[in-house]
Amino acid sequence: MGYFSRLADDICDRFENGESATGIANSLNLPIEQVNQVIADYQEPEFDDSMDGDFDTAMTSAGFGTDEDYGYYGE
């Protein structure tokens, strides 16, 4: 792991442990803008699972179609 990766991990660890961005910047002698950017880049994104489909949707997307596409409509 390189220097900047370790620095980014250190910033994120400190932030997760409750240290403010200003405190981190001061203790690491970094510009506050840089600390804020690292924090913004590493914060966990919120995932939108609303577009996740079911098995049939996945198979259709993969090119296999649904049962109805092949003439099967149930018993």
| Residue 60 covered by a domain | no
Q: In the prediction, which pLDDT does 42 show?
A: 82
Q: In the prediction, which pLDDT does 54 show?
A: 72
Instruction: Map residue 11 onto helix, strand or coil.
Output: helix
| Residue 65 covered by a domain | no
**Global confidence as pTM:** 0.57
| CA 36-27-16 angle, 5° bins | 50
| Residue 58 covered by a domain | no
| Residue 73 covered by a domain | no
pLDDT at 48 over 70: no
Summarize the chain as % helix, strand, coil (round to 5).
60, 0, 40
- The answer to whether the CB of 8 falls within 8 A of the CB of 28 is no
| Residue 62 covered by a domain | no
Q: How many domains does the chain have?
A: 1
pLDDT at 37 over 90: yes
- What DSSP string runs through 32-64? HHHHHHHHHHHSPPPP-GGG---HHHHHHHTT-
pLDDT band at 68 (very low <50, low <70, confident <90, very high): low
Which structural domain range is residue 35 located in? 3-44
